[in-house]
Structure 1
Amino acid sequence: MNITISERRNIEFYFLLIALGTLQAYRYNCIDLDTLESLIYRMKMLSIIDKNNLSSELEEIVLRGMGLEDVEAWVKGIFPSMLLVDTIDTIDIDCKTLLMDPKYYSCFTDFKLFESIADADLSLEIDYVSLVNFEFNMMIFLLGFTLLLREIDDELTQVLLSFKDNVLSKIKNLGYKYSESFKDAIELFDLIDFHENRFNPKRQQLLLKKISIKLRVYFVSATKEKIEADIDFYKSDGLLYYVEAK
């Protein structure tokens, strides 16, 4: 099973959301630090960014994320997690700041997880080796996107509707036999009544905050003891992002 994302800007957008969601999952204590770094902070990621002329800001975020284990080892037993938390918070803020850059505005409403690669200057194919792995990575992505939505004030309703049409509906329509916890997670966004809350951004923001908290329930059935992310990158006609959960 796989998904395809086309164009550099959309690929950068995806990786930034994965970084954001991964940081949030670590805060929830859903994944360990090794899994956090495996999902994006890898030397091969730097090679992919360099070879395909992706964002230098994304490269900087990856570089700083690669040092998280060193930070943890340095502060362990002295000031437990304090410096590590500060470092993660800084990366989190940088991800959100970059995502709010005007160059990504069109991604808010146009981003798709399932695209044709015809006529694309660059494409990213994400190949999942199991349904469990697909669910796990989609949950990381949903966490990231939910946090991004909470940063948006203008046209929030339109972005939410586009997110449901271009991402959530496509996931639902794939026809896979998802776990109950994953189905519950992707249906959380239906709690937002777009007719009732259309002109009430504060109400939408409150619901998004509740959703971002409830998403952690998924990880009860996919704990860090059961899933160890093992990610590799391959250069083919496009950019293949191969992900395996062991």
Structure 2
Amino acid sequence: LADLAKAHKEICQEAQFYLVSNGDLTDSDLIKWLESWSLKGRQADWNYGDNYLALDQPLSTDNLGQLFEEKVQGQQANLAMAFAFPPAKSLKERIILQVANGIFGYLPVSRLFTEIREKQSLAYAIHSGLDFHRSFALVRAGISPDKVAHVYKEVQAQLADLMVSLEEGDYLEEVKLTLLSADVQSRDYQHLETDKMIAQDLYPDFDLSTDYFESVVRALKAEEIIACLGKWRLVGAYALVGGKDERTLS
């Protein structure tokens, strides 16, 4: 028991807990509540609504999109790249972004997965996801430390190539069917259906039905997806690289 108590004390001393709140609670209220749990509260120094990644060295217009590396203990590397896009003001714009992201890096048939991971073997894992609240797509990749710069450039090259090579045909139809199938399967998960019902109640002007989603996806043309991807801009790149603990901006 003494060993267990010691381990528990060490965990509580070293661990960091991030609390995200939504509502009328103030920082002082939250800190007071946390400290009643014997946890040390601290004022937040960043806001989730801010459209930037919180780094030790803030980004500026001079280094926007440059690769920032931090050396950490380990043998592998993790790369994150943020591509900003104009805020989606309509449901159709969101759906177009979903399809574009699926083609770029989200799906198993995406460009990042098939080219960077499968064909070139540059990454152990790579995919992209959308953050509609901050209007950016985040690419994450697990790679070898010596391939960080290569993958950083290759991700941008694949996006550029996609905008000139995407065309109507079997590949685009396969992407559409994959997304439609995933949407249908989501109905088997109660929490996703509940989320959709709540969202429909909050946004009555949006048609969040499966039928509308399918109608938009099936009608999408390659040029619409290309136009969407053409508005993406790299605004930040950050890599945790296995090695000694130091930081550089390359």
Using the size of structure 2 for normalisation, the TM-score is 0.26
Higher-RCO chain (CA-CA 8 Å, sequence separation at least 6): 2
Tell me which structure has the larger Cα radius of gyration.
2
Q: Which has the higher strand share?
A: 2
Greater share of helix residues, 1 or 2? 1
